[in-house]
Structure 1
């Protein structure tokens, strides 16, 4: 937000406050002043002068000898080479002894002396805007209005001692995106009177109205407009308006456009001026339809859809609602009849729409943050008065339609709560004074914790919704500098922790301890990743993606991790092990709005990792081999310790169909682990299959409490059992069957461990093992805490296991 100090002081003028003090006050109130600078560099002895006569230089075709009245009491002879110098014009004149700004940055100031140009004396210099560093225009002299007082110092006449403020506004301070809004703050901070421009209704001389229909109340809550006929679009914009626009960073275009821009900067109300004669029938305010196109004022042709608001006539769409007008109804210098529009657009209907088309506008910047919905008619009257004064014309009645405006709910502020948050004592009178200075209407009552203020936010304050917003207002106007910097005083309290759950930080450390490096990826990803790795053809789309390829929310972390593996491989890394902890996003109609939830969307935290390349760093003691499924399966088991996860085969769109498993903890599926599917190796240009996992963070955090078990003083009995079974059988099913048989036979409490320690598949069929068979070797460890197990007990337990394998899997002991 950029504006001149002189313009601001026409609204609120704290006379005893300097420019620096005003800048400091605004910054401390939350309106950070990034820069304050003069509108023109220093120079002296430059005055308003009138050219009385000119004649061709006798020795130079491109020079003129001018007779100039500079208010000194005598006519000055000045040689000038400007192409636009003519008798009668009023221009800046540098007198002898004047010091002009340096021609280049870092150069020295330029002093005007009596000189000779091609043999003719020159007693001064006529100046262009560029020579005074007022603009880059160097096409000729800076021509001033004809009524400019000859002899007056140019700095005084053009108000060149004015200062330009540049304010960095936070998104919540949309009410300060105007001179009026900043002046409200100045008035509240300093007590200066607030003066507003005249917005009284203009005289209505015609009864014409344009039919307007609001078809989408969720897009537009209020629409005001009026017809003005007989305007002179070629009228010159007044110099004072051009000056204020330029000092606010806006260039002058034409009178009608300048007036609209001026009132937007003045009051914060973007408006639009249509060429009435180019509108077909009436206007319809609605959402766009897929396939519709519009050529904008900036020359771009855009395609709209059901997510973008438009204003259309009976034939075509004419503008993007709240963003930019269309080229087909743009005003030109030949325009004579106009339709003036000012509306309230719902902020969530405008947010992100301009960025979809890779541009931003002042109108969208304001509307997506919230513009006052209660003053559309007053602002229409202000714009109309300026148009009639500058361009002439006849105004029709204002057509004002209000269909759906915000209902501002009162917000309560507890005095005791404000004191706790700010750490200072506040009286009710001080808080009431703050609200009165901010023009916030309030009532007072007594509550359980003391006095309570109930504030109704005004129509221009979209940032006041909760109690903390009001506390912020109190702090801003009370003064942050008045709040003492004291260390917090609190009792040391030992709070209980849940020993059965570890923190996210501990989980991340555990992953790092397994030789994984942490990465942080965007939660929005390429749509193709969702199709490839999650088989998700209907991902959650973003309304305002930061980049066209990052347009959907991820439902899996696999794509981001794989992309980072490729990034490292392209930079000559041979071994990559990465992990990420973050959210994924799924549609879920059961989810309702809450403090950390959004209705209709499930957002679980996940921990995912990927390993590519050798299983270990290259060394002499271990043979180099690529990382495989069982390496990462071991990492997953270590992460869940002391709980023991189960692994079952799973079909997953991202994983190899025969080398992928579902991870199950306490009977619930909590993730997957496996090797990347071969089809993605070729597509993503990988020479080796990475192995990856994706687990629910809550499952990793729940480790449970330690449980005491007695340590036996007696020796353990160890037995190995090798059986031959079909290759299609799963070892886990056999382990489950043996454990169930031991429990049923009364031996379960003796079992310390039961593991598979060997698998043998013959290259060719033999008498002992067929071609479609394999040998599995299990080791069982039995131990009692009360006595040494007898051989008969151990043998019975082993026989129980053999019988279970024989009956359930047609297994036979290996010879």
Structure 2
């Protein structure tokens, strides 16, 4: 929002410098982005009148002009502007004047003719980015007057960044109201008296969507002059607000929007037929907008139509067919209240963003349409003439927004703010903000004004008290509070501990989008139908992810393309899996490994990481909760993983995750020349462990016995270790696998496993016979459970 300090000063005499004003607004929640001058720096430019114009004898495009600058003798000037003509008044820079970029005027000769100054365009004065000729001033402008004084160009523009809840400040009147409240100065609002009807013409209006448009005000104005010049003061105010002058019919509606905050629209009355109808669009209905954009509408769009055609996209933009032109003589002025939810999102859906939609989707005062209509009629008739008809208001009273009363407790406000603000000061602040306050013993009944959509609960009023009183005036000491001690579950491993574990193993945490490309999703999980987004950021982020793998692989691919060949990535995030009519959101932890097993070094030979490197990292992660020996790794098939190098992880018979090598088909599709190893686990399943308990330390020596057994190749080594550990031997302290062998000396279809058993008793030294009995029992158990035999 761009605010002219000069214009603001006509509404409230705040008495502050522009820097002080910007600070006060910022501290009140209206953040100041910038302060900039209203015009470029120039000096000495005055109002000049062209007395005569003659053709230059030696140049077809140049004219010889005599200019009166109010100093007596006419001044010769050579001018090449196509619109220069006798009698016009225009900015004139005489010799000695300084134009923007420190350009100083001197006496010169152009094609032999003397030129003692320069007739200026708006662009040359820094008042416009482009211009087609000289800047023509009104005929009654005093000759010789300083241009900066005439246009009040020694002004400052405050660019204020508003949060979405402060739509009431999207106008000069709103900001002036805020400044008057902060400075305790009177607000000098513009007077809007009803305009008397000069004709009896009306155009009927019907509300077919009263919930979306509960109030629609309008008026017929006949005989306007659309070619009349917009006053220079209005053009300047529009320019300083960032809008171009487009003729009086459009300028007036834009000016009222900037001044009062009510977006308006002018229809060419000659093209309207029958009745003006506010309704929902028909499915597939077409509309060409003022910017020549063609829309195909749906039932979600609110439109203004007559009995034959659609005229405008309500609250967003008018249609080309009903727009005003220089040939327009009769207009219908629209000033309506559209419900925020009827406009919200529709402009963006059609790829639009207008000043009107920006205001309506945040909330415009429902009491404003009639006032704005009278103000616009008054300005239009002053500038372009015309005969106004009677004001019409169609409304559905039951659908108009009602401001609910809020229970407000002054004592509670001071408790929350840690302050000691008097009840009198609170009441004054709320009253200055436009609230109606009914005083009671312990609490007040506060009714917010119609323009404050953001005031709904007591906390909102507390915030208003704090910001108007001044955040910097609140006490700095912390209020006394009773700390709440959070109970920690000792058996639970928090995500921060898992992050630390993977970071210690050399992983980097990635944060990827929850949305993925539908093609990627289909490759990684073809059997799962993902949730499609109704309004995706882009086509590459069109569906919700059902796994964290697509994001990690995409991140790895990005890094590989930039010569980062050793990658260890992990992510903790949600997966979104549709189940019937519901969306199951489950927190997962996933990781990716590719490239060398360790950074290049002299102490070990180079080796590429493999499945078992990744498996070791996963077991370290599982070990945080003591699950590394409880989780079973079982071969499986997964669409995203290599058919022979994929496993599902089971805990107590339930699948808690998957791990393996990226599928060769996916490697080809992604054009990868390096293997990737992936894992993904359910975070909740691996977070619950056991509370550590005391275990006595034996004072007696340990005995190690090694076993070499033969089992079928299909039998996992983990299964063998599990069988041994399941035996009820308190002396069995540890079982470790230290060798796997197939080849010469081992029958085909079998493999040799070398196991180390550590035996140690807590109460005595084990004898050889006891150890032999245990080993024999272990061999017998293995033969019974997995068909193992001792290797000869």
Q: Using the TM superposition, give the Cα deviation of residue 49 of structure 1 relative to its aligned residue in structure 2, in angstroms.
A: 3.8
Match of 1:607 in 2: 589
SS in 2 for 1:675: strand
**Equivalent-residue separation in structure 2 for 1:183 and 1:785 (angstroms):** 86
Partner of 2:693: 707
Map of 2:183 onto structure 1: 190
Matched with 1:48 is: 47
Shift of 1:752: 2.7
1:441 matched to 2:436: yes
Partner of 1:635: 617
Partner of 1:769: 747
**1:38 to 1:688, Cα distance in 2 relative to 1, 3 A:** closer
Structure 2 residue 556 is matched with structure 1 residue 570:
no
* Residue 77 of structure 2: aligned partner: 79
Residues 553 and 460 of structure 1: CA distance in aligned 2, closer, same or farther (over 3 Å): farther
Q: Are 1:522 and 2:510 counterparts?
A: no
SS in 2 for 1:36: strand
Match of 1:164 among 157, 161, 181: 157
Distance 1:733 1:276 in 2: 87
Report the equivalent of 1:785: 762
Confirm or deny that 1:689 pairs with 2:675. Answer: yes
Q: For residues 276 and 798 of structure 1, what CA distance do their matches in structure 2 show?
A: 104
- Say which is worse superposed, 33-42 or 727-736, in terms of deviation: 727-736
Q: What is the Cα deviation at residue 408 of structure 1?
A: 4.8
Q: CA deviation digits over 1:298-339, x for unaligned, max 9?
A: 333455567666556677655445433343443333345555
**1:528 CA drift (Å):** 2.8
Deviation for aligned residue 1:639: 1.5
Q: Select the residue among 596, 600, 607 that pairs with 1:625.
A: 607
Task: Indicate how the Cα distance of structure 1 residues 636 and 158 shifts in structure 2: closer, same or farther if over 3 A, else same.
Answer: same
SS at match of 2:503: helix
Aligned to 1:259: 252
Deviation at 1:439, TM superposition (A): 1.5
Residues 705 and 758 in structure 2, CA contact (< 8 A), matched pair in contact too: yes
Cα distance in 2 for residues equivalent to 1:348 and 1:714: 79
CA contact (8 A) 2:173 2:261 kept: yes
Give how far 1:727 is off. 3.8
Aligned-residue offset at 1:196 = 3.4
SS at match of 2:74: strand
SS in 2 for 1:618: coil
Residue 549 (structure 1) aligned to one of 540, 544, 547: 540
Q: Which residue of 1 aligns with 2:209?
A: 214
Secondary structure of the 2:661 match is strand
Q: Report matched runs for 1:112-131 at 5 Å.
A: 125-131=118-124
Paired residues of 1:221 and 1:402 also in contact (CA < 8 A): no
Alignment partners' CA distance in 2, 1:800 and 1:280:
101
Identify unmatched segments of 5+ residues in structure 2.
Answer: none
2:734 alignment partner in structure 1: 753
Query: Which residue does 1:593 correspond to in 2?
Result: none
Q: Which of 424, 428, 433 is the equivalent residue of 1:429?
A: 424
Give the corresponding residue for 1:232. 224
Secondary structure of the 1:609 match is: strand
Q: Deviations over 1:677-718 (max 9, x none)?
A: 222111111122211222344455545432111122234455
Look up the SS of the partner of 1:327 in the other structure: coil
754-763 or 630-639, larger mean C-alpha shift: 754-763
Matches within 5 A, 1:236-315: 236-239=228-231, 240-275=233-268, 278=271, 283=277, 285-286=279-280, 289=283, 294-302=287-295
Question: 1:234 is paired with a residue of what secondary structure?
Answer: coil
Q: Measured at CA, do residues 84 and 608 of structure 1 come closer, stay the same or move farther in structure 2, by a change above 3 Å?
A: same
The CA deviation string for residues 752-811 of structure 1, in whole angstroms up to 9 with x for no partner, is: 334555444458xx8x7344x444555544443233455666556555555555555555
Task: Give me the whole-angstrom Cα distance separating, in 2, the residues matched to 1:533 and 1:494.
Answer: 44
Between 164-173 and 293-302, report the one with greater CA deviation: 293-302
* CA 1:522–1:718: 2 relative to 1, 3 Å: same
| Change beyond 3 A, Cα 1:319–1:671 | farther
Q: Which residue of 2 aligns with 1:654?
A: 640
Hey, what does 1:3 align to over in structure 2? 3
Q: 1:17 to 1:516 in 2, by over 3 A?
A: closer
Could you say which residue in structure 2 is the equivalent of 1:89?
88
In structure 2, relative to structure 1, the CA distance for the partners of 1:78 and 1:784 (3 Å cut) is: same
Name the SS for the 1:549 alignment partner.
helix
Match status 1:360 vs 2:333: no
Structure 1 residue runs of 5 or longer lacking an equivalent are: 591-599
Q: Tell me if 1:140 matches 2:133.
A: yes
Cα distance in 2 for partners of 1:785, 1:647 equals: 30
**How far 1:452 moved relative to its partner?**
4.6
Distance 1:535 1:128 in 2: 65
Where does residue 508 of structure 1 map in the other structure? Answer: 499
| Cα separation, 1, equivalents of 2:265 and 2:138 | 29
The offset of 1:139, in angstroms, is 3.9
Deviations 1:405-424 (A, max 9, x none): 55555555554554455443
CA RMSD of aligned residues (A): 3.9
Per the alignment, residue 644 of structure 1 pairs with 627
Residues 292, 586 of structure 1: alpha-carbon distance in 2 compared, 3 angstrom cutoff: farther
Given the two structures, how large is their TM-score scaled by the length of structure 1?
0.83
Aligned length: 781
In structure 2, distance between residues paired with 1:119 and 1:770? 110
The answer (yes or no) to whether the contact 2:38–2:154 under 8 Å persists in 1 is yes
How far apart, CA to CA, are the structure 2 residues paired with 1:101 and 1:427?
Answer: 55
Q: Does 1:399 align with 2:377?
A: no
Say which SS state the counterpart of residue 78 (structure 1) adopts.
strand
Change (3 A) 1:614 1:312: farther
Aligned 8 A contact 1:377 1:400 in 2 = no
* Cα distance change of structure 1 residues 326 and 528 upon mapping to structure 2, 3 Å threshold: farther
Query: Which 10-residue stretch deviates more, 42-51 or 523-532?
Result: 42-51
SS for the counterpart of 1:21 is helix
